[in-house]
Amino acid sequence: MIKLVARGQASVKWGYLSPVLAVFLTLIAGTFLFWGLGKDPVLALYTFFISPIADWYGITELLVVAIPILLCAYGLALCYRASIWNIGAEGQLLLGAVVSSTMALQFVDSTSLWAMPLALIAGMVGGMICSGISAFLNLRLNCNETLVTIMMNYIALNTLLWAVYGPLKDPNGYNFPESALFGDSTLLPILFEGTRLHVGLLLVLLALVVVWVFMSKTFLGFQIKVLGLDKPAARMAGYKETKLAVMVFLVGGALAGLAGAVLVTGTTGQLIPAISPGYGYSAIIVAFLGRLHPLGITLAGLLIALIFMGGEMSQMVLNLPRSITGILQGLILFFLLSCDVLIRYRVVFTLPRFLSTATQGDK
């Protein structure tokens, strides 16, 4: 029989191994899933995980997908470190996209150098408005942050729909729910000729370094960690609890809003209703899978981006719906939570009861 025995101390080793094991188990489950769907598992796994990044263009596409996910996940990780269950990255991303598009549309015929930076800043402001409202409701009015942020997600989604069906709709767009195409001055420059990889990648790298240094090298980062691990201790030490919480909310919102801005100015070049296939929700998985550490998150984000691309690829090649992406993402999180039990518990294999009583009887 299998028994769980509590460890005296949380295992550091399993803290690192658990995500790896979870990914491995997800791969096994995925193999069975493909097999069950009547596809050759080897071909399916190749199509899903290898073929999207088999060439240089594929790798740049992977990075394009990873950019918004990573930006959201860095921000979420800050919140989760403070034990704030902010799941509003999706809404902050969407509102960021709307505000950024509104700004970008002011510069359609302009060649101003300010156009692109202003569009990005507008996106960050949009995200911060969204997360700021959540922070206010959570911290001043005591509302549960999970429920508040999820409601803000739906409100932001409907704001986006309202915008593309109403004020931001392209007047020459044959009544499609899309904004006009942005001018060249607002579009993010492409990094490599012939690909879609834009300077958003540099913003991600910048965010990675800043968040990393902030988390591990600054006193504020330390305070956030303490607040998350032991609230009474943080209070005793005189840390400004509310101030810290507001800060992580706003930073998270700014990063998610930036992700939205990067999506409209870098990837699509206009505002469309389906601007995000749930990047903000995937970022939650990424943050946990990356153990709330910027480096881990970066790896996890690339993996989830690969799963997004694998979904597209398997739709084209294997004729499977792309929603298989969502199943694999859910499975990863399930397996991660299950494997995390190994951090706090040891698994002990014991003989089944009838056997162990038999051996006792011999004595």
Partner 1 sequence: MDINLITNILFAMILTGTPLLLVALGEMVCEKSGVLNLGQEGMMLMGAVAGFIAMYHTDNHFLGFVFAMLVGMAMSLLFGFIALHLNANQVAAGLALTIFGTGLSAFLGNDYEGKQITVLPALVETELQNIPIIGKALFAQNAIVYLSWVLIVVVYLFFRYHRQGLSVRAVGEDPTVASNIGLPVMRIRYLSVMFGGAMAGLAGGYLSIAYTPMWTEGMVSGKGWIALTLVVFASWRIERIVLGAYLFGFASIMHLVAQGLNWSISSNLLAMMPYVATLVVLVMLSRDKQRLKLFEPMALGKPWHKNS
**In the complex with partner 1, which residue's Cβ is closer, 159 or 186?**
159
Cα separation, 101 vs 186, whole angstroms: 10
d(Cα 171, Cα 180) in Å, to the nearest integer? 8
* Cβ atoms 77, 294 nearer than 8 A: yes
Which of 64, 70, 92, 78 is closest to 257 using CA atoms? 92
Q: Which of 311, 314, 318, 320 is nearest to 278 (CA)?
A: 311
In the complex, least distance from residue 188 CB atom to partner 1, rounded to whole angstroms: 28
> Closest approach of Cβ 6 to partner 1, in Å?
6
Contact residues for partner 1, defined by CB under 8 A: 4, 6, 85, 87, 137, 141-144, 146-148, 150-152, 154-155, 158-159, 161-162, 165-166, 281, 284-285, 288, 321, 323-331, 333-334, 337-338, 340-341, 344-345
* Pairwise CA distance, residues 125 & 52, whole Å: 34
Which residue, 171 or 361, is less far from partner 1 as judged by CB?
Answer: 171
Smallest separation (angstroms) from partner 1 to the CB of 140: 10
Q: How far is the CB of 11 from partner 1 (least distance, A)?
A: 15
d(CA 314, CA 332): 19
CB of 342: closest distance to partner 1 in angstroms? 10
> What H or E segment, with its residue span, contains residue 346?
strand 345-349
Which CB, 154 or 222, lies closer to partner 1? 154
Instruction: Please check whether residue 234 is in contact with residue 138, taking contact to mean a CB–CB distance below 8 angstroms.
Output: no
- Given the complex with partner 1, which of 158 and 216 has the nearer CB atom? 158
User: Which residues are CB-contacts of 176 (< 8 A; sequence separation ≥ 6)?
Assistant: 169, 170
Shortest distance, position 325 Cβ to partner 1, whole Å: 7
- Pair 61, 52: CB distance under 8 Å: yes
Nearest to 127 by CA among 162, 100, 159: 100
Q: Of 250 and 304, which has the nearer Cβ to partner 1?
A: 304
Least distance in angstroms from the C-beta of 241 to partner 1: 14
For partner 1, the closer of residues 70 and 87 by Cβ is: 87
Q: Which is nearer to partner 1, 225 or 322 (CB)?
A: 322
